[in-house]
Structure 1
Amino acid sequence: MSLQVDLNCDLGESFGSYHMGQDDAVMDWITSANIACGYHAGDHNVMRETVGKAVKNNVAVGAHPGFLDLQGFGRRSMQVTPEEVFNLIVYQIGAMNGFAALYGTRIRHVKPHGALYTMAATDNALAAAIADAVYQIDKRIILFGLAHSELVKEGRRKGLQVAEEVFADRTYQPDGTLTPRTAPDALIHDVDTSIHRVIQMVKEQKVEATDGTAIPIQADTICVHGDGAQAAAFVENLAKALVREGIQIQPAGDPR
């Protein structure tokens, strides 16, 4: 059986006159777009434009809901109740659904952003609220979550399709969580190292943690970032490397 994996990227993060990311170039190589829904980034104009580009490029449309935190780019933890999280997920998916309908498509997946994603990886109540919101809106939506996280577990418990996500440019702690961005070793800057780690995660289902131990991991979808100086070149090199290794690149999950 041939290996396959999804390549996803956070897109549509510009707003107003503020431009961010290399969306157009990255779109040529990915299979899933996580489109900001206006809370942590993006706005109504950017959302419509980005959905249109994804449809034109045959890239799966996904909602990327986060905390209402433009100044902190959604990366600051907040004290929120499960009910608040449920409502902010519903609100942002609803906005994205409207733009998807304009192009005759639907949201294929949902991936929480930033601090919300990180908190839901370990907080069972928040993870359950996200999974419940997605399930009640559309049971066909695939829920993206950190591999082996509470979000993945709650998505499965709810009856959703889930895609376990790994990161091309992030390091891991021994417990399988991502190294906090505030740590000096949180990001991997060497392209060859990143690509080698991704291929290992897909083919061998393991990754080296910061303490040197090998931890098990499931790679259904790989997150690449589109806002770095060399983002487009990296995504292209990674996609070509995966193909050379005999790994097919296609959207996560089975259509329902």
Structure 2
Amino acid sequence: MKINKKVIFTALVTVSGLYANGQDMRFTQKNPDKPEVTEYMDPEIRVVTPGAVPSDAIVLFDGKNLDQWESSKDGSAAKWKVEDGVMTVVGGTGGISTKKLFGDCQLHIEWRSPNEGDDRKGQGRGNSGVFLQGIYEVQVLNSYQNRTYRNGQAGSIYKQTPPLVNATSKQGDWNVYDIIYTAPKFTINGGIETPAYVTVIHNGVIVQNHTKIQGVTNYIGQPTNPVHGKAPIHLQDHGNAVSFRNVWIREM
């Protein structure tokens, strides 16, 4: 196979442009003849100790209290029940939001649908939601043997993008969401410079793979895109006694 040297050189120039403004010019040499030309040491990579909770994570719920949360309605104390290391929606009290504001993040959250029997179906069974920046919903729903609209089941970007697969545990069993979220960026005149993206891993299975979020979650109508900055994580009160535990977040 004949190697096109012009193509290779063009690729190197393109890559070097990524660093031209800043800090790293390691690809500016046309034909480097030493390996160290394309290696760099500084700044050293920050160390994070892995584990059940990474060392740089902010623990949003440790099973003891709701000190990190407040009522989404009026900023008063969160009114959900905390018992046996679990917080549970108290229907009618409203959703709760983190006191701290977030943008790009890695969020870990575990949730459990209540044992409600077969009398509740579709959206009425184990319904809640995890709202990124308070306005983009990753749906929480007992979707185990429970048919509903595709873009409204567990793991969906609600009313926008259905999950790739249904990985939901049965009623009463715990589900795990690991969410990697990139917040949208806006231009100075209110346009979208880059949209929001999200990856969702549900019980170890990828159900959203770098999915573009089309805009704010609207129950009726198309998504909209108001300009905003960092905002809370919000958990929804949809009238079902959904429980949560082991909630932590890493800012990125």
Between Structure 1 and Structure 2, which shows a larger proportion of strand residues?
Answer: 2
TM-score normalised according to structure 2 size: 0.29
User: Looking at CA atoms only, which structure, 1 or 2, has the larger radius of gyration?
Assistant: 2
Larger relative helix fraction = 1
